[in-house]
Amino acid sequence: MASNSSYLLGSKRVPTRSGGGRRWPRRLAYGFIAFAIALPLAYLVFLRMTRIEPPPVDPAVRAAAQEPVVVRGVRAYLGKSWMSRERGIWEEHLEGGPYALGYAQARLGSRLLREQEDYMFSEMNKWVPSKIARFLIRAGVRLRYRHLADFIPLERQLEMAGLADGSIDRHSDFLPAYHRIVFYHALHDITQGLEHSPLLGCSAFAAGGAATPGGHLILGRNFDFEGPPIFDSDKSVLFFKPTGKIPFASVAWTGMSGVVTGINAEGIFVSLNAARTDDKGKEGMPVEILMRQIMEQARSIKDVVAMVKKTPLMVPDFYLVGDGKTGEAAVIERSPTRTEVRRTSQSTGSIVVTNHALTPAFAGDAENDRLKRYLTSGARYDRLSELVKKWHGQIDPQKALEILRDKKGVGGVALGLGNRNALDAIIATHSVVVDATNLILWVSQGPHLSGRYIGFDLKKELGGPEYASRPNPPDLPADPILDTDEYRNFVLAKASLAAAEQLWREHDPDRALEEVRRAEGLEEAMPEPHKLAGDALRARGDREGARKEYQRFLQLYPPHLKEVEEVRSILATL
């Protein structure tokens, strides 16, 4: 009875099994709680490990730099620094130590900095609408470039700290201001490997000696950065007078402490052209920061070559270098593991660079060859070489500008406006002509290369008070095409093409075709609308209509070989 009653009331084994059954949900709950606590802790550790912190700033330096902005007429002043647009383009005259330079630039250009960031974040949200995707992108970039600041000189870190302190911070939820500013100065390096990098379209040349009428060193450069339009409409010429360093002029945009196009008071000009090679870099100095170091320190081409060669870099780039004192010029072809130099010869006095390497060290480089053939670098190099050779002995600033504005293909073949095979594809965010011998800089007002080029006397802008009364050099004239129906129709055609591409991505082929027809009507010689029209008609089942559009596309010198091969492959099936 006892055992039966025990069995009926519950033996020792029964409650033991029952207790074990109750434990596993409890354990699962404990595990979930532990995971819920560990995950945010791990994320906090990740943030700590990948955070890029500003350097300590001397309180006295900070207090001295943080003066109020004072407006006097068309100019805004902060201490000795000032900014205005009185000549039709933003000028920023910055003077002092690193922190003061950054703070003054941010405070004087605060509206422009805010608008740039707002635009870029709105574009990111448009192209990456998923918050999860944006989170993962941010985490990946933080992790990959967590040691970036280790390769940035302390002076530049202090200048970026000044930029951060002087900025209006509206995007701290993405990254702290200083961290963002460091990344902005490495965007060139971070995006270089993208198939559609917005920087693989620059063209530049130098002409000196017998190539020019007076033997002056004349340089021309198109910065074909297909980035936000604000970088064209609100480009800046920044005149830096860093304490104890060589003064220099940089053509870029507000918020840029680095350099992509610059010339210093010693007559050393340097401009940057993106490249692509087989050897991949790991960690190194952002190239815009290296260019800044060159501007502040270099007094000869030899100095520039030495600095480029010794500096670890993340990506390949080419540098056009000129010395106004000697009249010499060179192209430095630099990859993460190789440095080669091409120089002007005494016979020609000229040199040309686009985005592919020419020296024997890169002869077997597959990425370099692919860039030359599949993108537009080969076509632009051949056309630029033709023009520099054609005008040998006559290349003065006006002729240099005509070369930069050339809109034809190799051999002088007519292209539709905006064709990427042209030197002037109507995409540049800035363009410059330089007389390095006389220290005169001309900068495109915009849009792109079409407006006038405003002249700056660098002896006046970078020199002492004894040069203050020198007159400004005359501007170079606007492109006559700017006021034509042809140009206005091209602008409208680009807008219709952009709308068509967006509709196509949204899977609305009928409306995409409507916009494409508008683009074709406005600028029939533009190849891109014909390819998109072919795609839309093929999707409808209109094989004959698609065939005609694809054939027309191939007749209009399309710039990218990948699209040419794609269309030829499609035609073989129609």
Output the domain CATH number for residue 510. 1.25.40.10
CB of 108 closer than 8 Å to CB of 92: yes
Stronger pLDDT, 336 or 128, i.e. the higher one: 336
Residues 467 and 369 in one domain: yes
Mean pLDDT score, 543-569: 96
Residues 415 and 440 in one domain: yes
Is residue 347 pLDDT above 80, yes or no?
Answer: no
382-401 pLDDT tens trace: 999 999 999 999 999 999 99
Bridge partners, residue 341, by sequence: 332
d(CA 360, CA 362): 5
With respect to residue 216, please indicate whether it lies within any of the assigned structural domains.
Answer: yes
Residues 315 and 401 in one domain: yes
**Count of alpha carbons within 13 Å of 199, Cβ hemisphere only?**
19
Residue 247 backbone dihedrals phi, psi, to 5 degrees: -65, 155
Residues 371 and 239 in one domain: yes
With respect to residue 240, please indicate whether it lies within any of the assigned structural domains.
Answer: yes
With respect to residue 545, please indicate whether it lies within any of the assigned structural domains.
Answer: yes
Place of tokens 């081409």: 301
Residues 255 and 208 in one domain: yes
With respect to residue 469, please indicate whether it lies within any of the assigned structural domains.
Answer: yes
With respect to residue 458, please indicate whether it lies within any of the assigned structural domains.
Answer: yes
Structure tokens given for 203: 């063209």
Residues 454 and 506 in one domain: no
Residues 26 and 154 in one domain: no
Q: Which of 132, 152, 184 is the last residue of a domain?
A: 184
Residues 328 and 454 in one domain: yes
With respect to residue 190, please indicate whether it lies within any of the assigned structural domains.
Answer: no
Number of domains in the chain: 4
Is residue 3 pLDDT above 70, yes or no?
Answer: no
- The helix (run of H) or strand (run of E) holding residue 221 is strand 218-223
Place of tokens 């010869």: 345
Query: Which residues are CB-neighbours of 287 under 8 A, at least 6 positions away?
Result: 188, 189, 258, 272, 313, 314, 315, 317
With respect to residue 564, please indicate whether it lies within any of the assigned structural domains.
Answer: yes
Q: Specify the pTM.
A: 0.90
Residues 270 and 412 in one domain: yes
∠ CA 375-376-380 to the nearest 5 degrees?
160
In the prediction, which pLDDT does 281 show?
Answer: 75
The CATH number of the domain holding residue 236 is: 3.60.60.10
Closest by Cα among 188, 199, 255 to 429: 199
Domain that holds residue 394: 203-483
Residues 243 and 384 in one domain: yes
One-letter-per-residue 3-state SS of 485-551: HHHHHHHHHHHHHHHHHHHHHCCCHHHHHHHHHHHHHHCCCCHHHHHHHHHHHHHHCCHHHHHHHHH
d(CA 215, CA 393): 9
Residues 362 and 474 in one domain: yes
Is residue 25 pLDDT above 50, yes or no?
Answer: yes
Choose the weakest-confidence range: 25-34, 139-148, 186-195: 25-34
With respect to residue 198, please indicate whether it lies within any of the assigned structural domains.
Answer: no
Residues 69 and 210 in one domain: no
228-277 pLDDT tens trace: 788 999 999 999 999 999 999 999 999 999 999 999 999 999 999 999 99
d(CA 63, CA 59): 6
Choose the weakest-confidence range: 125-134, 413-422, 440-449: 125-134
Q: Which of 465, 483, 501 is the last residue of a domain?
A: 483
d(CA 559, CA 375): 7
Closest by Cα among 489, 192, 170 to 336: 192
Is residue 117 pLDDT above 60, yes or no?
Answer: yes
Sign of CA dihedral 548, 553, 557, 562: negative
Q: Which of 445, 468, 483 is the last residue of a domain?
A: 483
Sign of CA dihedral 394, 400, 404, 407: negative
d(CA 500, CA 511): 7
In the prediction, which pLDDT does 427 show?
Answer: 95
Angle at which helix 509-522 crosses helix 527-540, to 10 degrees, equals 150
